[in-house]
Amino acid sequence: MLSSTNIRTELDSIKRVEKSVELFDKNTFDIDSVEPSRIYHISQIKQICIDYRLRFLNAKLFKGSFPIEAVTQIKMIEEQHQTELTDLRIMAPSKLFKLENADDPLLFAPMGNGYYYLIHQWGNDLHPLRKWLVWPFKNLINMCLATLVASFFLSLLVPISLFTPNPTISDFMLIYFFMFKSLAAIVIYYTFARGKNVSQVIWNSKYHNS
């Protein structure tokens, strides 16, 4: 159990992390002490962000709370590598960079040359279910495919016999075309008119309306 002194020290460390606005290109790590499984290249991070619809931004833009476990990991890594970690980055859902939420981010520190070191992950933002739920928003091709498929199943629910006594394939295709056009209009409005975009575009954008 942490004493009151240790808790105060941890809280001070949390404030230091949350207020860090330094913009260094990299941190110095002891190559013999790094864990290879924690090293990610920016291309891998980009793909994860696109697959799970997350953003990868400077920790100074993060509006959530840093758990004590994350700060403990920072202090352990700093002691182990004899350095002070700066320019921390967060991988998290867009809304966590605006207000507190129950979603769970991942904390990284840059190593240079496009590589980042995973410090701590507190949650399950990389759950496979999330990946499937945000699949339609991955890129424009996925969005179009999802709209086509959704329009097809919605068209199957339409009782065509109410419009014609002897439904044909042509009648179904007409309903399908109308359904696709309507659903596409809704998707376009939500995605673009409402200031949203596909994950491939926003994964490292710090702007809310991108």
Least confident of 13-22, 56-65, 113-122: 13-22
Model-level pTM?
0.57
Shared-domain flag, residues 73 and 96: yes
Does 207 map to a domain? Answer: no
Shared-domain flag, residues 11 and 93: yes
Shared-domain flag, residues 108 and 154: no
Instruction: List strand residue ranges (DSSP E) for 67-178, in order.
Output: 89-92, 106-112, 115-121
How much is the mean pLDDT over the chain?
Answer: 77
Nearest to 71 by CA among 5, 34, 18, 111: 18
Contact 52, 23 (CB under 8 A): no
* Average pLDDT, integer, range 181-185: 90
Q: Which residue has the higher pLDDT, 63 or 84?
A: 84
Question: Where a domain ends, among 127, 161, 190?
Answer: 127
Percentage helix, strand, coil for the chain under 3-state DSSP, each rounded to 5? 50, 10, 35
- Residue 22's pLDDT is 43
Encoding tokens for residue 134?
């945000």
Contact 98, 56 (CB under 8 A): no
- Beta-bridge mates of residue 55: 92
Contact 80, 30 (CB under 8 A): yes
Does 141 map to a domain? Answer: yes
How many structural domains compose the chain? 2
CB atoms within 10 A of CB 163: 11
Shared-domain flag, residues 74 and 141: no
Least confident of 19-33, 74-88, 159-173, 187-201: 19-33
Give the rounded percent of residues in the chain with a pLDDT score beyond 70: 76
Q: Which amino acid would we find at residue 68?
A: I
Q: Over the Cα atoms of the chain, what is R_g?
A: 23
* Average pLDDT, integer, range 133-149: 87
Residue-wise DSSP of 26-92: -----TTT--GGGEEEHHHHHHHHHHHT-EEEEGGG--S---HHHHHHHHHHHHHHTS---S-EEEE
Tell me 165's DSSP state.
S
In the chain the first and final C-alpha atoms are separated, in Å, by: 44
Does 208 map to a domain? Answer: no
Shared-domain flag, residues 28 and 79: yes
Shared-domain flag, residues 56 and 85: yes
Domain enclosing residue 92, as ranges:
4-127
Question: Where a domain ends, among 88, 108, 127?
Answer: 127
Shared-domain flag, residues 16 and 59: yes
Question: Where a domain ends, among 82, 111, 127?
Answer: 127
Q: Which amino acid would we find at residue 142?
A: N
Does 209 map to a domain? Answer: no
Shared-domain flag, residues 106 and 154: no
Shared-domain flag, residues 102 and 145: no
- Residue 190's pLDDT is 75
Residue in the block written with tokens 């913009």: 23
* Average pLDDT, integer, range 195-202: 72
Shared-domain flag, residues 26 and 97: yes
Shared-domain flag, residues 49 and 120: yes
**Residue 58 above 90 pLDDT?**
no
Encoding tokens for residue 124?
């399950």
